[in-house]
Every structure is written in C-alpha cells, then in structure tokens.
Amino acid sequence: MTVSDVEHDAMRRALALARRGPRGVNPQVGAVILSPSGDILAEGWHHGAGTPHAEVDALSQLSPGQAHAATAVVTLEPCNHTGRTGPCSLALIDAGVARVIYGLDDPNPRASGGAERMRAAGLSVVGGVLADDGVAQLRDWLTVQELGRPHVTVKWAQSLDGRAAASDGTSQWITGPAARADVHRRRSEADAIIAGTGTVLADDPALTARTEDGGLYDHQPLPVVLGARATPDEAAVRRHPVPPLFVSDHDLHALLQTLRERGVQRVFVEGGPTVASAFVRAGLADEVLAYIAPVLLGGRRLALGDLGVDTIGDARRLTVASIDRLGDDLLVVANPEHTAPRSALGHPAAQKENA
C-alpha cells in the first residue's frame, strides 16, 4: 500500500493549515479530509487549548455520513486520550473514515496510541508521511515533549577570526544590515530572548524584534535578563512591550523550567559570550547560529569563552544544517550531535503502514 501524489499534496496542505494555529503548550496540527476519489471534503486545524483538535475541526464541517470511506490526512498521529476534548482516533473511527495518513508519531505517552487503535478498528493507517517537514515545523514542541524544557537557540556574531568585539569592547556592528534583519526575524519567532547583565549594561539593547523599517514585529519575545547585577531603571529593556523577567540565579535548568511553566517553547539566547558559553557548556544548546563577518579583529574577546574542553577529544561536535550568505556575511546553522534533527520520531526513513 503506497501513498499517492494526491495524499502527499494533502499532507503539504495540512502542514500549511497547521501554521494557522497558535504556538504554545499544544502542538500546531492540521488536517485534510479527502473523498474516496481524492477531492478535498474539509480542512481543519487546532485553534488553541480547549478547542477541537484538527481532525475534529475538519469533521465538524461535514454532514453525518459524509466522511464514510474518506481518507483523513493529519500532520500528527491522532490522539488516543480524553482531556479537554475526546480522542481524535475514536472520532475518525465513528465518522466512518477508511484510511488515515499522518506525519509524526505523538511522543506524548498520554496521547499516543491512536494509530494502533485505528488499525485495530480496521482502518488503513500509514505514518511517517513527510515526516522531515513535520519535525521541522514542530521542532520546539517536540523538544519540550522529549527533554521537558524549551528548545534553545544560541546565537552570536563574530569576526572571521572568531572575535565578538574589538579590544576596546566595541561590537556594533560586526555584521551588516542583512544579517541583523535576519536576527530580528528570528527574534520575532521566539517566545523568549535571553541576555546577560554584562551585555545589557554594555550595549543597552532593547531586546525587541524590529522590522527593517524600524517598526516592531507583531509578536515580541519575553525579554529575560540573566545575572546578579542590577539593571538600571532607564535601561532600554525596561521599555520592552513585554515586561522583562530578571533572573539573578545562574541555574540554567531552573530558568528553562520556569520558562516552560510560562508556556515558552522557543528560547533565543543572544546575551554575549558569557551567557552563550554557559548554555553550550551545560549542553543546553539545541541549535547554534553563528553570524560570521569578513573582518579581522584579533585580540582576546572571543565569541565563546570556556566550554570545559581541555583536549581535542572533548570538543563539542556539531552537525551543520545550513550555510547561507546574508549580504557580505555568512550564517552557519548547526546542531550539537546529540540534538541533530532526526527524520521522524519513532519512524525509520520508510513509511510505516498496515497492509
């Protein structure tokens, strides 16, 4: 049993629908219901906590019996538990759906098992379809499910010889406008942005996400200032649209737990060499963004400090995900080997199905 081109197209549509839903504690999920002839009968997505899941949202648009013998295409395995809403797997069974195509296995043990329930009821079920796209779209939520903490991106800008600042401490601007615009776009996609008090006192950053014309993105990350030194009352970060969180405790695991409890899934660490090094040294960097400018500075102001690497065998190995040119600068995106993206949770490269 194979997955048709029409079903692949429906999965791409479901992934696009999923992005309409809010990012938060619950995953963004999309669903498309296909008729036996392959026409789209209904579409749905999860609109937020407490609302119908994507499958039920789509089914609600159909009249009784209209989903009989249909195919449901869903980005995440239909759930198998009762919370604020009932099990989506049961809703699909009761609607008379004959076939279910889904992207990722649900990693939450409380919600997983929907695929097996539907198979036991006689439905044809295929998992792992466009799983790489699903992992990329749900990376932050998956990190929370697997590791119990938000997904952490550590960013820095450096000269070609690895310096974050000149000998006198000046660092604005190492990179050019295109790189800075990319940083602000990524800030706007984060739930929280972390900077150390050293950076706040030296550079007085606003920690906002700004558009190229100087305006503010609609979504602004929660600014987090980490360190024992006091932040002046007149500091720019205190005028941030979102009230800042000031944290004097250097326990990064506790900080991430606090942020998770506040619904944060994506953390952007941009706080200078000390804070960046601390996250990398603690093994808490899931993604590294290194913006590299074609300038030479020399000196001792390295982009990263001590990582606890005393010998080459202890080096922090990374897997390069992409290298992009931004104006005159380069952006290298890399993942520590222990957090490199996988093809799919619980799936081999091939699709899993019942014949």
The residues carrying an active-site annotation are 55
CA pair distance 136, 130, nearest whole angstrom: 10
How many other CB atoms are there within 10 angstroms of residue 158's CB atom? 23
The count of C-alpha atoms lying within 13 angstroms of the C-alpha of 188, restricted to the half-sphere facing its C-beta, is 15
Q: Answer whether the bond into residue 45 is a cis peptide, omega within 30°.
A: no
Q: Which residues of 283-300 are buried (b: 16+ CB within 10 A; e: fewer)?
A: ebbbbbbbbbbeeebeee
**Tokens 């076939």 — which residue?**
99
CA pair distance 113, 127, nearest whole angstrom: 12
CA pair distance 202, 225, nearest whole angstrom: 13
Secondary element (H or E) of residue 278: helix 273-281
C-alpha to C-alpha distances, 277 to 6, 235, 282, 352, nearest whole angstrom: 47, 24, 8, 41
**The tokens of 54 are what?**
């994507």
CA pair distance 38, 57, nearest whole angstrom: 19
Q: In the chain, how many H helices and how many E strands?
A: 10, 14
Pairing of strands 30-34, 71-76: antiparallel
The count of C-alpha atoms lying within 13 angstroms of the C-alpha of 162, restricted to the half-sphere facing its C-beta, is 5
CA pair distance 312, 323, nearest whole angstrom: 24
